[in-house]
Amino acid sequence: MRGKYSRWYAAIALLGSVLVAGVFAQAPQRQQAPKGPWMDKSLPPDQRADLVVKEMTLDEKLSILHGRGGFQAEGAISNGGAGVVQGVPRLGLPPIQLADSAVGVRAAAERGRYATLLPSTVALAAAWDSSLAFEYGEVIGRELRDQQYQASLGAGVNLMREPRNGRNFEYAGEDPVLAGKTVAQLVKGLQSQKVIGDIKHYALNDQETGRNIGNVKLSKRVMRETDLLAFEISILESQPGMVMCSYNKVNGDFACENDYLLNQLLKKTWGFKGVVVSDWNATHSTAKAAMAGLDCEQPGAPAERARFGDALKKAIDAGEVPMSRVDDMVHRIIRTAFASGVVDEPPLGRVVDPFRGAESSQKIAEQSSVLLKNANALLPLDAARVQSIAIIGSKADTSVLSGGGSAQVDPPGGGASRFGGPAVWFPSSPLKAVRAKAPKAKVEFHDGVDVKAAAALAKASQLAIVFVNEPTTEGRDMPSLNLSGNQNELVSAVAAANPRTIVVLETGGPAAMPWIDSVGAAIEIWYPGVKGAEALANILFGDVNPSAKLPATFAKSDADLPHPVIFGSAPPPTPTPAAVPAAAGAAPPRFQMTPFDIDYTEGLKVGYKWFQAENKQPLFYFGHGLSYTTFAYSGLKAGIDSVTFTVRNTGKRAGAEVAQVYAGLPAAANEPPKRLVGWEKIQLAPGESKTVTVKLEPKFLSIFNEEKDDWELLAGEYRIFVGGSSADTPLTASVKR
Ligand code: BGC
């Protein structure tokens, strides 16, 4: 197995072991364990924290409530991550080094290190697989520790209300239950490695356009049943050490000084015991933010300039922030450090094992690539029979795409990548991977810039595999669902030349596919991670039977979305076919610089709920995904707390089906027609049947009652739907409550 990995990994392992002594020698020194009673590991973290807080001077307290500036500004105290919570050496508290790590640890190359690029979080959600999500978190947690970080800045669970959001690749799709459960498992896996987990960006930071000035307007009921439900599930199930508040405003107040979001909901209702950390420079005030529930300012600045430094001291003196609140802020940070294990078992620093990470990354890519279309069983390809293949577009001769911004992972051998710089491609070559599968076939590559020449190669080949891509990044949204540059034109021309055309999409989220009827097959591989091409080849040639299902609806066009134009942006530019090469990025939208409202008038109707309520046909529904085998559903027995049914593999290959359970609420609830309430991923040999029982959590069948400020399971008739996608539910039943 290992022999197959490219020489990059061997080189990295070698380089890493040479550098490691030097690198970690520069990393912050471990603290001498002092004798204080708080070092008694048998005491609960809260008690240990109380003992420490009693010993601390005010200056020591303030020193941990703000960072000292991002990256370089931290100078010697930084380990190279995005921020630091300073330690208190006198009391044996180490600094908490914070590293971005949404899809792998960021900025490793800068310090001569390596980190595994995993498939995007949205891809992970497409696997609908809790143990895989746990493994995803484990990889990140392990590699954080290896690089001597104590905390992750990762695990985004913002709902995909806006399919053009530039950060959708970092999030877990449009459904709160799928997103919440996926991210909960990810954080559990991460925290199992004894590092502090983080869930972000709390809340409703669902678009990048004007993210610092947009004010999201939504009722409590809608927020609780949609975006906040994803946070509620992931936070309650994983108990992350940190929650990062977001840049935007919610109903008039910035998220990082929003009493409802932070004090009332997160801390009081959900009982969150950890640290509310600001997104970078999202602390807008001192007393207001502190009293609304923000605990730690990042990346902060030296005390004289930090909002939670000297300014907080003044606010304490002025009686605007009581000492009890300051102690609570400090307590939260310290109890989190104890609870996570970073004090008792500090990360010592090790060379990252690139093989182990790559193996997980490939497995996750195989489980998360969604087969969207497969007319006449064009796939899987038969290596013994295929004679010639044209591979076209998207640097498919050399590499696969990754997502940008603070989720960017540095490529092996490619050096450090720049925030806001060009899209970063990872050395995993689809051309080589396909050649390795079909050594006797003639496999040729064309970059797709000259559409006519690409189509000519497709015509001369037995089949064509066209790669299309859309780089996305933090800081900007896609102006449109349309693929940028000449890519739609390219696919249409190739498909016209050869109907045996397979389209491979490398996107951060949904894309419009005006050519879908003319192609033979289409597969969404997202940003597939460091072994993306190898995973894809296994699917194309049937070594892996695809089982992933879309975690988001793919609309036919922007016009079908609740908001055809993104709030705060100029109208999408008219596409200029042929002017831009296939691999080029989307043009950044023009930002509207005056504050504006983001009025989500679709309310509860997010994603598939919008399309079903409005009777609009999307391109592909939430939950859709094909297999090389077929499944039949039967025998539904439904109750209000569980449903039982049977799934049979009616084809000739072993495969896995993600059987999905949806509910329609009583008419009085006034809800969209269907909502996801549970699922089970079932492995089946050919001809095999399994009967499964899916438990239904009462909250997922409830509405949020604003007057009672609580969930309410209404009396009445519930419809239960079971099947292979949100639009294909062959089993139905009614249940009375
Ligand atoms: C992003 C966060 C990130 C932070 C630190 C911000 O711009 O929104 O997701 O963790 O920077 O890099």
What does the pLDDT look like over 311-344, one tens digit per residue? 999 999 999 999 999 999 999 999 999 999 999 9
Structure tokens, 275: 């640290």
Over residues 392-432, the pLDDT tens digits come to 999 999 999 999 999 999 998 877 888 888 999 999 999 99
pLDDT of residue 466: 98
Q: What's the CA gap between 439 and 350, in Å, rounded? A: 39
| Substitution site in 100, 248, 418 for ligand 1 pocket (most atoms within 8 Å of beta carbon) | 100
pLDDT of residue 414: 74
Selecting among 253, 279, 410, 447, the annotated active-site residue is 279
The SS3 assignment for 99 reads strand
> What is the 208 CA–ligand 1 centroid distance (Å)?
12
Segments of 393-481 assigned E as strands: 400-401, 425-426, 442-446, 463-469
pLDDT of residue 581: 41
- Shortest-distance Cα residue to atom 8 of ligand 1: 279
Residues in the chain, total:
737
| Substitution site in 153, 208, 245 for ligand 1 pocket (most atoms within 8 Å of beta carbon) | 153
Q: For ligand 1, is residue 153 a contact (CB within 6 Å)?
A: yes
- Shortest-distance Cα residue to atom 7 of ligand 1: 280
> What is the 386 CA–ligand 1 centroid distance (Å)?
47
Segments of 485-599 assigned E as strands: 501-506, 521-524, 596-599
Backbone angles phi, psi at 669, to 5 degrees: -70, -25
pLDDT of residue 2: 41
Q: For ligand 1, is residue 406 a contact (CB within 6 Å)?
A: yes
Q: Residues of 550-579 as b/e, b for ≥16 C-beta within 10 angstroms?
A: bbbbbbbebebbbbebbbbbeebeebeeee
Segments of 71-144 assigned E as strands: 83-85, 96-100
Triad 671, 672, 673: Cα angle to 5°: 115
- Shortest-distance Cα residue to atom 9 of ligand 1: 406
Q: For ligand 1, is residue 158 a contact (CB within 6 Å)?
A: no
279 is catalytic: yes
- Give the CA distances from residue 329 to residues 292, 326, 359, in Å, rounded to whole numbers and listed in that order: 12, 5, 40
Nearest-CA neighbor of 531 among 110, 3, 6?
6
Contact call for residues 516 and 620 (beta carbons, < 8 A): no
Q: For ligand 1, is residue 208 a contact (CB within 6 Å)?
A: no
- Give the CA distances from residue 336 to residues 44, 430, 475, in Å, rounded to whole numbers and listed in that order: 11, 43, 30
Nearest-CA neighbor of 513 among 489, 496, 477, 540?
489
What DSSP designation does 420 have?
A: T
End-to-end CA distance of the chain: 54
* Strand 521-524 versus strand 370-374 pairing type: antiparallel
Q: Which helix (H) or strand (E) holds 232?
A: helix 227-238
- Give the CA distances from residue 726 to residues 130, 446, 462, 613, 684, in Å, rounded to whole numbers and listed in that order: 20, 38, 35, 12, 21
DSSP states along 609-641 = HHHHHTT---SB-TT--B-SS-EEEEEEEE-SS
User: Which atom of ligand 1 is nearest the CA belonging to 100?
Assistant: 10
pLDDT of residue 9: 53
Structure tokens, 79: 């380990």
> What is the 280 CA–ligand 1 centroid distance (Å)?
6
What DSSP designation does 340 have?
A: H
The SS3 assignment for 341 reads coil
User: Which atom of ligand 1 is nearest the CA belonging to 246?
Assistant: 8
Q: What's the CA gap between 227 and 209, in Å, rounded? A: 18
**How confident is the chain (737 residues) per 10-residue block, as mean pLDDT?**
46 46 42 78 98 98 95 78 94 96 95 96 99 98 98 97 98 99 99 98 97 97 98 98 98 98 98 98 98 98 96 98 98 98 94 98 98 98 97 98 97 84 96 98 98 98 98 96 98 98 98 98 98 98 98 98 92 45 44 82 98 98 98 98 98 98 98 98 98 98 98 98 98 97
Structure tokens, 440: 């006797």
Backbone angles phi, psi at 549, to 5 degrees: -130, 145
pLDDT of residue 543: 98
> What is the 406 CA–ligand 1 centroid distance (Å)?
6
User: Which atom of ligand 1 is nearest the CA belonging to 153?
Assistant: 10
Q: For ligand 1, is residue 280 a contact (CB within 6 Å)?
A: yes
Contact call for residues 31 and 347 (beta carbons, < 8 A): no
Please tell me the pTM assigned to this model. 0.94
pLDDT of residue 17: 42
> What is the 203 CA–ligand 1 centroid distance (Å)?
14
pLDDT of residue 582: 42
Residues in Cβ contact with 29 at an 8 Å cutoff, skipping those fewer than 6 apart: none
pLDDT of residue 70: 84
Structure tokens, 248: 């935007």
Task: Note every long-range contact of 411-414, with CB atoms under 8 Å and residues 24 or more positions apart, other chains counting.
Answer: 411/109, 411/117, 412/8, 412/9, 412/11, 412/12, 412/114, 412/354, 412/530, 413/8, 413/11, 413/12, 414/109
> What is the 583 CA–ligand 1 centroid distance (Å)?
26
